[in-house]
Structure 1
Amino acid sequence: MESILEHFKAITAIPRCSYHTTKMKEYISAFAHSLGFGVHEDHVGNILCHKGAPKVCLQAHYDMVCIGDTHPIEIVMEGTLVKAKHSTLGADNGMGMAIMFWAMEHNENLECLFTVDEEVGLIGAMQFRLPLQSSYLLNLDAEEEGEIYIGCAGGMDVIASLKLHYMPLEEEIKLYEISAFSFTGGHSGVDIDKKIPSAIKALGYELLKHDVLLVSLRGGERRNAIPKSATAIVASKTPLHVDDTRLHVKSLEKGSHTKYIAQSSSIIKALGAFAQGVREWDRELDIPSMSINLGIVSDFEGVLRFDCAARAMDDENLAILAHETVAFFKALGFDAVQEGWHGAWKPEMTLFAQSVQSVMKEFYPHATFKAIHAGLECGELIMRQAKKIEAVSIGPTIRYPHSQREECDMNSVSNTAFIVQNIINTYKE
């Protein structure tokens, strides 16, 4: 649908990286007012738009993961695929927003909820306090056409930190920079089982093989993204060569660094021993049951920090995984804390889910119920409501979200829009 693509282009022209969404929020509010929708905003920036007597609330988040050159995003079309030239595309969840804008133009009884800062821990959903008029919530953040999501993983962030102490380097020691770059990257939930290598882990494995001292270390782009790059500066008494062809080594001038990190051994052990990826598989749902991603390694004001995103399909296993990860880092001398907990959305076959499946089967005869090993806002939003809310998540096909390979199939967008409209029509009376 050309109008939906035009809405998406308008959305991508506005900055909306997580934590920097003010202009996008203003655009949504102005657009809704222009169509006669009432607009309410809560204390964190969620925007609830309503018109008439709605039964269905459409929902999407309006922030995006920004990797690469997103100022501005340069859209390119390859057949029916929408891509970005040198950045993430933001179809997650900008295409859901575009479908909502289109639906707002075509319906007199509708509720639309635009949540903020989903990509950095479901912040908007977790703090949402406005009452929904609708009894049914249709989330548009799923990323595979023809699938109906009725459950998702919960998440918890584990932050490990280490106050660094430095020692002087011997004058005769050699300095090297080891870089892992141009790795594929991907979403730490939906892509965690796809054997996508982590640049941080690749660097960590290599460091374990050598007798080196760390001078500095950094890597990763987002806590919830599989790392694409990592770099370490190390000191070695012998010439350094690496076996991994994905890594690049270059010599640095003597004297360019004069100190090394006294806790080098513990840090390198932590990098090498951290069990990145899927920890347990759910055979019934055929998705990961538990996983963890070491997304970022950073050094700020002499404190080394590891940011990890843990996920599980039930709250009990999520707590176990988070506690185990904290214990792992503490055993190596780090401080470690848990933060940003959001519960799992337990799969449930509601009447609304069955109604969505009935509509979906007109377009996709084999439409199936699914759960996803990533965070969806449905669970949090349901818990925030005083009355009973039934929720389902659908969406167009978006491949490689949270990476510069992100792409969206416009045929699936058109199908999803028609399905959304038919679902709204089902609950008109």
Structure 2
Amino acid sequence: MSLEVRNLAPKEVWNMFADLNAVPRPSKKEERVIQFMVNFGKELNLETFVDKVGNVIIKKPATKGFEERKTVVLQSHLDMVHQKNNDTKFNFDTQGIQMLIDGDWVTANGTTLGADNGLGVAAIMAVLTSTEIPHPNLEALFTIDEETGMTGAMGLEAGILKGDILLNLDTEEDDEIGMGCAGGVDITATKSYTEVGVPDNCIAYKLEIKGLNGGHSGMDIIKGLGNANKIMNRLHHAAINAICVCEIDGGSLRNAIPRESVSVVVFDKNDTNLVNKAFTSEIESIKNEFKTIEPNLEINFSTVDTPKTSLSKDTSKKLIQSIYAAHNGFYRMSPDIKGLVETSNNIAKILVKNGDIKISCLTRSSLESGKQDLANSIKSAFELANFTVTFSGEYPGWQPNINSEILEIVSNLYEDLHGEKAHVAACHAGLECGILGQNYPKIDMVSFGPTIRGAHSPDERASISSTQKFWNFLKEILKNTPKK
């Protein structure tokens, strides 16, 4: 599989990507990929070091004639989102990604591909390896843990980088130039409950939701895709006065729209017809609502062995109502930038088992006040049901700079190369630029990259032709950087 990918053009990028994808690199477990990058830099005899949080920095001197140009920081993150289909047997901690070619797309065999942000990393590696690409002094910054907290960007100390310009290679549309992004905050609602015995006259159903598209909880939130946790809660609510919840396991990562959810509920056998009718009717309504955008949605319920314990009727009802009350999806569109989601929330993970409830959300906004407003709304919904709610992992947005020198250069280059204007915009995702700008307020930043679809899901795929376009664009930018 990797051999076929290695033969794609541009070979220098796809070969680096294949090497990178052979290294397991889950967020917060980047030890192997950090060592891989250190070995890579040292084998090229380039100055290479790791900062105190694990970011890898590799410096390359300017090519002849480019010594008086402004120093450029090339930046991408090393970690990747690990998601797989339920029926895919794969160990992200020990296996390299199994890549496939499907027309103009590179994808993976039932897992995420790692093109986010592996293609950016691979392109930087190709630049560092090349002896033919003209460029100014370069500082390659490979950050860690972007996907689950941005701790690499947050931990990068002031003064380590000397660059004047930063090119972030983490945008997922090849005709887009990023000039701003949303900030975010993790919201976690927890609650302990006393398990109660299930009466002998009860039966149990297992409810299962699968086949949803999933996707990036920032970039894809505008699409109105199905959220497995909210859909499951609708089923529960349809029979709220008859059922008690025993357990729920829905979603996984806070920055991925949940694709699957499983729950077990119990009810008095005398209410079987009522429950069947409620579930069947709600399933029909949900499938009708999502038939266009979620054609592969499956919702099933079936009898299982009756558990010995469950939540009480009252606790079940409050849980269902609180999830119903918590907002999911886009909350407000930007009044200033057409088509941009300003504020949103993703109810990412719900786990109910063994006396504990944990609900994880990620709230995003390009406005700090908007982020706080929605976060407080969600917090209130859960606190009314006696949850303990905490905020963590907060990071700032990246405020657009319409007077950016590098933005003007990159925008003009794109138009010269392609005969049309690029889409210059802020995005509803958590790029590291906002965080990096805190310790490097004078650095001039833009973001761009190849076209990637389905990031953060097993449907992730990267366009082959777009990767060639992106590679040519990157080389042209390096040749046209401004003088000091």
TM-score range, shorter chain: over 0.9
CA distance in 2, matches of 1:230, 1:164: 21
Q: Is the 8 A contact 1:314 1:346 kept in 2?
A: no
- The structural deviation recorded for 1:284 is 2.8
What residue number does 2:374 align with? Answer: 321
How far does the alpha carbon of each residue in 1:180-235 deviate from its partner, in whole angstroms, 9 at most, with x for none?
A: 12221111000001121011111100110112001111110211111011111101
- The structural deviation recorded for 1:362 is 2.6
CA distance in 1, matches of 2:59, 2:481: 15
Indicate which of 139, 164, 176 corresponds to 2:193: 164
CA distance in 1, matches of 2:249, 2:167: 40
Indicate which of 333, 338, 341 corresponds to 1:281: 333
- Residues 8-407 of structure 1 mapped to structure 2, 5 A cutoff: 8-52=17-61, 55-68=71-84, 69=90, 70=92, 71-106=95-130, 109-129=137-157, 131-210=160-239, 211-237=242-268, 238-239=271-272, 240-241=275-276, 242-243=279-280, 244=283, 246-254=298-306, 257-262=307-312, 263-285=315-337, 286-299=339-352, 302-349=355-402, 350-364=404-418, 365-385=420-440, 388-407=442-461
Q: Is the 8 A contact 1:161 1:303 kept in 2?
A: yes
Q: Any gaps of 5 or more consecutive residues in structure 1?
A: none
CA distance in 1, matches of 2:482, 2:468: 21
Normalising by the residue count of structure 2, what TM-score does the alignment of the two structures yield? 0.85
- The structural deviation recorded for 1:382 is 1.5
Report the residue type matching 2:50 in the other structure.
E
CA distance in 2, matches of 1:402, 1:85: 14
CA distance in 2, matches of 1:300, 1:200: 15
- The structural deviation recorded for 1:428 is 7.2
Query: Please, which moves more after superposition, 335-344 or 415-424?
Result: 415-424
How far does the alpha carbon of each residue in 1:351-409 deviate from its partner, in whole angstroms, 9 at most, with x for none?
A: 11111112222333221211100100011111122x61010000000011001111101
Query: Please, which moves more after superposition, 196-205 or 230-239?
Result: 230-239
- The structural deviation recorded for 1:293 is 0.4
- The structural deviation recorded for 1:427 is 2.6
Report the residue type matching 1:383 in the other structure.
Q
State the superposition RMSD in angstroms.
1.5
Query: Please, which moves more after superposition, 20-29 or 268-277?
Result: 268-277
Q: Which structure features the higher share of helix residues?
A: 2
Query: Please, which moves more after superposition, 300-309 or 337-346?
Result: 300-309
In structure 2, the residue corresponding to 1:363 is in which secondary structure?
Answer: helix
- The structural deviation recorded for 1:42 is 1.4
- The structural deviation recorded for 1:288 is 0.8
Report the residue type matching 1:146 in the other structure.
D
- The structural deviation recorded for 1:90 is 0.5
Q: Is the 8 A contact 1:126 1:380 kept in 2?
A: yes
In structure 2, the residue corresponding to 1:292 is in which secondary structure?
Answer: strand
CA distance in 2, matches of 1:20, 1:178: 33
Indicate which of 382, 403, 408 corresponds to 2:462: 408
Change (3 A) 1:18 1:390: same
Q: Is the 8 A contact 1:36 1:51 kept in 2?
A: no
Q: Is the 8 A contact 1:148 1:370 kept in 2?
A: yes
- The structural deviation recorded for 1:301 is 5.6
CA distance in 2, matches of 1:119, 1:6: 24
CA distance in 2, matches of 1:410, 1:75: 13
- The structural deviation recorded for 1:300 is 6.2
Q: Is the 8 A contact 2:38 2:48 kept in 1?
A: yes
Report the residue type matching 1:80 in the other structure.
D
- The structural deviation recorded for 1:425 is 1.5
Change (3 A) 1:61 1:300: farther
Q: Is the 8 A contact 2:195 2:354 kept in 1?
A: no
Aligned length: 426
In structure 2, the residue corresponding to 1:216 is in which secondary structure?
Answer: strand
Q: Any gaps of 5 or more consecutive residues in structure 2?
A: 1-9, 63-69, 85-89, 285-297
Query: Please, which moves more after superposition, 121-130 or 81-90?
Result: 121-130
Q: Is the 8 A contact 2:326 2:377 kept in 1?
A: no
Percent identity between the two aligned chains: 29
Q: Is the 8 A contact 1:363 1:415 kept in 2?
A: no
Query: Please, which moves more after superposition, 47-56 or 34-43?
Result: 47-56
Q: Is the 8 A contact 2:76 2:141 kept in 1?
A: yes
Report the residue type matching 2:359 in the other structure.
F
Q: Is the 8 A contact 2:173 2:452 kept in 1?
A: yes
Query: Please, which moves more after superposition, 340-349 or 90-99?
Result: 340-349
Q: Is the 8 A contact 2:247 2:351 kept in 1?
A: no
Q: Is the 8 A contact 1:326 1:338 kept in 2?
A: no
In structure 2, the residue corresponding to 1:193 is in which secondary structure?
Answer: helix
CA distance in 1, matches of 2:323, 2:377: 16
Report the residue type matching 1:357 in the other structure.
S
CA distance in 1, matches of 2:460, 2:417: 25
Report the residue type matching 1:341 in the other structure.
E
Report the residue type matching 1:24 in the other structure.
V
- The structural deviation recorded for 1:21 is 1.2
